[in-house]
């Protein structure tokens, strides 16, 4: 077997690594240091609110994906299935429960503390509710704060929906946070954090939109989830996050100035052959192999929906220091998976057009109905509206049993051949007649 | 009065008429009438009734329709129900429907509402969000707003306005409907051989596609017939079925369980018809508020309702005890996240209460029941022999 090549890393990636390591160190010593820990979810997260109480957030789906990347998820899932979870259900849930059954060691190997509060910000994914009902029984006595986020079924956020969410925050979520943390709610502090959030959000949008350049200096899917997006969730609202995104933005600008493509684990992409918009989460168990199929073919993802589950900032939303709770409500309701299907199609169509994509690809995830149900209709709509070739592959989040490398590679190679042929035809058609 | 056999035959015909002939005929009788299709689990049909609309349960195509185009819209790992619902939209079975309501039960049904929007099916396609906060001043306000959206939708279709008098009248009719259904379940509690679970299923399901007035009459007739003995008591165990609240099991599966030696003394097959436990106040100046209050305070336990503080496992155990059940059968549709994710904790509660249980999965168009029959038969034997 050949030795795995050393992964090439940019400065921002190293900063991120250090920031995350520090967070996990803090988490591992939370009980000793007296810091309270809140388990919650990425979509519709209330990071600023949690941090304003000096509590630490833990995101079970991030732990699950990290377990997937570190090849631990298969055993965790198996253990969850042993206690009665069906093969059919969400593998994030099973991975998380399996991790807990195995001593709750986090991604860095350090033990994660048990939660002091379960914050069920139930946004865009029905399974979240089931997940936390299970956790509530596995951590008896731990208070649960439920924040029900209404779905954007009409394709808009209404004043009534905002009022519903703010009431839930004021009368349930915040009082529980006060009780658990032993601190009074500090509105000015929250507002101040939101100033930082908005700064980070401005920078994040500029970074993501840099993919409109040709060549794109970033991969907005693989790099999007690898080093552009993750910090956003746990650190949004902090000065550290603003500094990180400033650094990353500088790197991206420099790449644009030099006409460089994205950084891959094997270095710079030399030639951008295909620009794609991707819908759906990535596979985590074989993340690098999966990415490699793309960069080996010169395919760059210029926009993706998965990087918008934590917020669709490129549609203009920013956390607003003047209306902190209202803007948290708007934020939750605006997350990608909380948008209705016509809105999703519209967003993806915008991406295909604005990012001048050559194709639209769906990675359909076996255990994520929030994304997967309806994707085949989304694909038809995109094909009709944009006239670009569409592709469809299937895998799973963290269950390696559902990642078939040969099958995916085969399908992608055929898809790339189709894109290549189309390019040739389009170029021929654009030549002036002889 | 019709004989019980005749009533059952008529109900079985109505229950599985996927062209919804009866409902369409009803609509054609008056221009202000409207048809509102709704998916599982619960929709407060009172509001539609009070606005001269008939709410029609769309419970999937089951094993009664070949899915030709619907499969092209779904991956193999999505449950079967939405395929049939899309098929019916594409083959014209739902063309006379004015609107559709998609209650918040899971991400598949939620996204199906968007697919209906994209396909422009009906004059409205409403995702009906249940509140997960049960404080009247918070979740209650939200739920009322959700109901008002549907009221506006229906009003835009047929021009009817909701009146206090009409809604009170409708509430009383549906109170009666639930009361009669419960009466049948209670009779079956004592004499399960008089009406099989499948016959009960036909009778309850027929009520989702005909008017409540017609259904109440049928239920009254059925109850009257059940006062006489019918059938022979069998040496069966008594079971509660849990997990079949959305995608419906095929009739053959229900029959197979009974034939294997299990009286199904309670179930969640058509849970929406039995959702509110007890009556809703029917002489109120604020009948819409009464429906809201009933949802917040009188809902049955369900995978669609956030249950911290009142866990559904404990409520299942209470139900099994109330029905003097010997065991619980967890029967869920494949790929049904809500049912399957609830199952382990509910099984734990059964274990703690000493209630034996088995589980299996099905599709609405499952055609082979041999394995399930053997499993249910073994379960029945093991309880009869050793419990």
Rounded distance between C-alpha atoms, residue B357 and residue B360, angstroms:
10
Q: Where do the domains of chain B lie?
A: 23-160
Give the nearest chain B residue to A88 (CA atoms): B335
Confidence band of A231 (pLDDT split at 50, 70, 90) = confident
Per-residue pLDDT tens digits for B9-28: 999 999 999 999 999 999 99
**Interface mutation target, options A90, A92, A126, A340, chain B, most CBs of B under 10 Å:** A126
Tell the burial category of A374 from Cβ atoms under 10 Å away from its Cβ (0-12, 13-18, 19+). Answer: buried
Q: What's residue A278's pLDDT?
A: 98
What residues in B contact A376, CB-CB < 8 Å?
A: 72-75
CA-nearest residue to B119 within chain A is A377
In degrees, rounded to 5, the angle at the alpha carbon of residue A37 between the alpha carbons of residues A32 and A38 is 175
**Average pLDDT across chain B, whole number:** 96
pLDDT score of A34 = 94
> Which sign, positive or negative, has the C-alpha torsion A100, A103, A108, A114?
positive
Domain carrying residue A144: 24-185
With a cut of 60, say whether residue A3 has pLDDT above it.
no
Is the confidence at residue A4, as pLDDT, over 70?
Answer: no
Task: Output the pLDDT for position A77.
Answer: 97
pLDDT of amino acid B310:
83
Total residue count of chain B as it appears in this document = 387
Residue A126 has its nearest CB partner, among B135, B337, B343, at B337
- The per-residue pLDDT for A122 is 84
Asked whether residue A62 is assigned to any structural domain, the reply reads yes
For residues A111 and B89, the model is more confident at B89
Query: pLDDT tier at A111 (50, 70, 90 boundaries)?
Result: confident
Could you report the per-residue pLDDT of A288-325, keeping only the tens digit for each? Answer: 999 999 999 999 999 999 999 999 999 999 999 999 99
Is B132 close to A146, i.e. CB distance below 8 A? yes
Predicted confidence (pLDDT) per residue in B367-384, tens digit: 889 999 999 999 999 999
Mean pLDDT of all residues in A207-224: 97
Q: Is the pLDDT of residue A107 over 80?
A: no
- Asked whether residue A159 is assigned to any structural domain, the reply reads yes
Q: Hey, what are A352's tokens?
A: 């295909």
Summarize pLDDT for B329-346 with one digit per residue, the tens.
Answer: 999 999 999 999 999 999
pLDDT digits (tens, 9 = 90+) for B215-229: 999 999 999 999 998
B308–A345 CB contact, under 8 Å: no
Which chain B residues are closer than 8 Å to A168 by Cβ?
133, 138
Instruction: Report the gap between the CA of A13 and the closest CA in chain B (Å).
Output: 34
Confidence at A431, pLDDT banded by 50, 70, 90: confident
- Closest partner residue to B111 (CB to CB) among A134, A144, A373 is A373
Q: What is the pLDDT of residue A1?
A: 42
Confidence of residue B1 (pLDDT cuts 50, 70, 90): low
Structure tokens at B368: 């082979």
Size of interface A-B (CB pairs under 8 A): 157
A59 domain residue, yes or no: yes
* Per-residue confidence (pLDDT) for residue A105, from 0 to 100: 84
**Domains contained in chain A, number:** 1
Q: Which pLDDT score, from 0 to 100, does residue A42 have?
A: 92
The whole-number pLDDT of residue A434 equals 61
Q: Among partner residues B74, B114, B341, which is closest to A130 by beta-carbon distance?
A: B341
Q: Which of A100, A175, A374, A375 to mutate to test the interface with B (most CBs of B within 10 A)?
A: A374
> Considering the domain B23-160, what is its CATH architecture?
3-Layer(aba) Sandwich (3.40)
Which residues of chain A neighbour B337 with C-beta distances below 8 Å?
88-90, 126-127, 130, 369
CATH number at residue A178: 3.40.50.11890
Cite the DSSP H helix spans in A149-217.
159-168, 174-181, 187-209
pLDDT digits (tens, 9 = 90+) for B50-63: 999 999 999 999 99
A46 belongs to a structural domain: yes
């Amino acid at each position: 077997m050949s030795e795995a090549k050393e992964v090439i890393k940019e400065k921002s990636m190293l900063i991120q690594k250090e920031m995350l390591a520090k967070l996990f160190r803090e988490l591992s010593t939370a009980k000793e240091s007296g810091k309270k820990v809140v388990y919650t979810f990425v979509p519709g997260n209330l990071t600023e609110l949690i941090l304003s109480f000096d509590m630490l957030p833990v995101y079970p789906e991030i732990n699950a994906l990290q377990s997937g990347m570190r090849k631990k998820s298969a055993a965790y899932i198996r253990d969850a299935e042993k206690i009665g979870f069906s093969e059919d259900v969400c593998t994030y849930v099973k991975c998380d429960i399996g991790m807990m059954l195995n001593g709750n060691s986090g991604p860095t190997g350090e033990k994660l503390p048990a939660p002091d509060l379960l914050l069920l910000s139930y946004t865009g994914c029905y399974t979240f509710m089931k997940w936390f009902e299970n956790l509530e029984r596995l951590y008896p006595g731990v208070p649960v704060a439920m924040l029900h986020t209404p779905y954007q079924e009409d394709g808009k956020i209404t004043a009534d929906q905002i009022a519903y969410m703010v009431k839930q925050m004021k009368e349930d979520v915040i009082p529980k946070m006060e009780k658990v943390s032993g601190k009074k709610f500090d509105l000015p502090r929250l507002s101040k954090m939101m100033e930082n959030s908005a700064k980070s959000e401005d920078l994040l949008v500029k970074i993501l939109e840099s993919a409109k350049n040709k060549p794109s200096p970033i991969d907005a899917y693989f790099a999007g989830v690898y080093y552009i997006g993750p910090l956003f969730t746990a650190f949004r609202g902090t000065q550290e996050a603003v500094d990180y995104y400033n650094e990353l933005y500088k790197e991206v600008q420099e790449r644009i100035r030099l006409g460089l493509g994205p950084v891959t684990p094997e270095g710079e992409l030399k030639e951008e052959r295909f620009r794609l918009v991707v819908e759906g989460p990535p596979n985590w168990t074989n993340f690098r192999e999966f990415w490699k199929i793309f960069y080996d073919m010169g395919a760059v993802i210029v926009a993706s929906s998965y990087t918008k589950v934590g917020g669709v900032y490129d549609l203009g939303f920013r956390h607003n220091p003047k209306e902190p709770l209202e803007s948290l409500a708007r934020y939750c309701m605006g997350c990608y998976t909380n948008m209705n299907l016509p809105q999703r199609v519209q967003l993806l169509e915008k991406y295909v057009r604005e990012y001048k994509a050559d194709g639209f690809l769906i990675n359909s995830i076996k255990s994520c109905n929030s994304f997967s149900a309806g994707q085949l209709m989304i694909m038809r709509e995109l094909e009709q509206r944009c006239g670009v070739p569409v592709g469809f592959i299937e895998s799973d989040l963290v269950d390696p049993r559902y990642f078939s490398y040969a099958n995916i590679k085969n399908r992608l190679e055929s898809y790339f051949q189709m894109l290549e042929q189309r390019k040739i035809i389009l170029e021929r058609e654009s030549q002036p007649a002889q | 009065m019709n004989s019980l056999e005749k009533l059952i035959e008529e109900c079985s015909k109505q229950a599985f008429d996927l062209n919804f002939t009866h409902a369409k005929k009803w609509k054609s009788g008056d221009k202000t009438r409207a048809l509102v299709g709704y998916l599982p689990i619960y929709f407060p049909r009172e509001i539609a009734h009070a606005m001269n609309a008939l709410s029609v349960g769309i419970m999937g195509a089951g094993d009664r329709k070949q899915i030709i185009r619907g499969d092209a819209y779904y991956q193999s790992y999505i449950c079967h129900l939405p395929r049939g619902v899309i098929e019916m939209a594409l083959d014209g079975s739902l063309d006379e429907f004015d609107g559709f309501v998609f209650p918040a039960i899971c991400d598949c049904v939620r996204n199906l509402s968007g697919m209906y929007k994209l396909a422009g099916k009906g004059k409205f396609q409403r995702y009906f969000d249940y509140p997960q906060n049960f404080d009247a001043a918070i979740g209650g306000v939200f739920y009322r707003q959700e109901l008002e959206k549907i009221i506006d939708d229906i009003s835009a279709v047929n021009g009817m306005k909701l009146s206090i008098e009409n809604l009170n009248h409708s509430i009383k009719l549906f109170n009666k409907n639930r009361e009669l259904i419960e009466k049948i379940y209670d009779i079956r509690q004592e004499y399960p051989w008089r009406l099989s679970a499948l016959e009960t299923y036909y009778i309850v399901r027929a009520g989702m596609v005909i008017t409540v007035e017609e259904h109440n009459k049928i239920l009254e007739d059925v109850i009257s017939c059940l006062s006489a003995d019918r059938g022979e008591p069998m040496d069966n165990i008594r079971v509660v079925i849990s997990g079949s609240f959305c995608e419906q099991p095929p009739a053959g599966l229900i029959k197979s369980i009974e034939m294997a030696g299990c009286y199904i003394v309670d179930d969640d097959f058509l849970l929406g018809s039995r959702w509110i436990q007890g009556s809703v106040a029917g002489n109120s100046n604020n009948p819409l508020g009464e429906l809201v209050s009933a949802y917040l305070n009188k809902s049955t336990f369900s995978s669609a309702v956030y249950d911290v503080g009142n866990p559904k496992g404990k409520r299942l155990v209470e139900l099994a005890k109330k029905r003097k059940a010997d065991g619980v059968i967890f029967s869920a549709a494949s790929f049904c996240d809500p049912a399957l994710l609830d199952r382990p904790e509910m099984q734990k509660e059964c274990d703690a209460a000493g209630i034996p249980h088995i589980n299996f999965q099905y599709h609405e168009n499952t055609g082979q029941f041999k394995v399930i029959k053997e499993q249910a038969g073994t379960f029945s034997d093991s309880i009869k022999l050793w419990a």
